[in-house]
Structure 1
């Protein structure tokens, strides 16, 4: 849904963050999902508005723009979670 260029910050170089629409999973498949990486402790499905309140600011901006792109049915290019001025 979007690609987000994030400027260098703290000890990190710049990065590209991608958000994809993975479609809808059948309920039985969704129930079987669990983290398979030591960096993740849990996963859950929540309504988009609820998800936005759970995310830190930089990720919240990116997620909100991804949801906007989904509603507009077009991809978006972002810079630090915002659409750049034309």
Structure 2
């Protein structure tokens, strides 16, 4: 990740903010921080074609569709992870817009619980779509589908999350969800 900021904003501002934060707080009880739980964070984009269909990718490592994006690395913000992962998977830079959904996903099988961020990826022009060059080791193909057509090829919680994101996009709002269900 050399050369890429680990945050979603201005590098100089981030450095000033970190400096202004001061020295890290010392542990009152040594070792307690290491015992705190850690969550994964993942981020992706809800991008559309000119017909309003959603962009999905077919990962090489799982049988379900995904939206472009992926896991945040240690020290990387969800926004920066989204930009990096989309660039890696699609080979193009997508303008990542406003946050549509934050969704909590519970631990399931070998996977720990996580926070899933979905950002607005905008409308991709025919030229942008034509410029897509997939990372062959991660993505076998991409396709644009309406939500109904995609639902059978998504995990139920992912289908609910994408539907939340799509509705948030239409309504101009940001939504909080748990396991793909809107709360609050």
TM range (shorter): 0.7 to 0.9
CA positional deviation for 1:37: 5.4
The verdict on how the C-alpha distance between 1:17 and 1:37 changes in structure 2, with shifts beyond 3 A counting, is farther
**Deviation readout 1:24-63 (Å, 9 max, x if unpaired):** 1221111221321522211122234333343221110111
- 1:55 is matched with which residue? 154
- Which one has the bigger strand percentage? 2
Q: Which is greater in Rg?
A: 2
Q: Are 1:17 and 2:125 an aligned pair?
A: no
Whether the 8 Å CA contact 1:76–1:83 is kept in 2: the answer is yes
Query: Scaled by the length of structure 1, what TM-score is found?
Result: 0.83
Query: Scaled by the length of structure 2, what TM-score is found?
Result: 0.42
Query: Any unmatched runs of 5+ in structure 2?
Result: 1-99
Q: How many positions carry a matched residue from both structures?
A: 85
Instruction: Compute the RMSD of aligned alpha carbons.
Output: 1.7
**4+ runs deviating over 3 angstroms:** none
- 1:73 is matched with which residue? 172
Whole-angstrom distance in 2 between the partners of 1:7 and 1:33: 33
Whole-angstrom distance in 1 between the partners of 2:155 and 2:107: 18
Whole-angstrom distance in 1 between the partners of 2:107 and 2:146: 31
- 1:40 is matched with which residue? 139
Give the SS at the match of 2:117.
Answer: strand
Query: Any unmatched runs of 5+ in structure 1?
Result: none
- 2:129 is matched with which residue? 30
Deviates more, 1:45-54 or 1:27-36: 45-54
Whole-angstrom distance in 2 between the partners of 1:80 and 1:64: 12
Whether the 8 Å CA contact 1:6–1:17 is kept in 2: the answer is yes
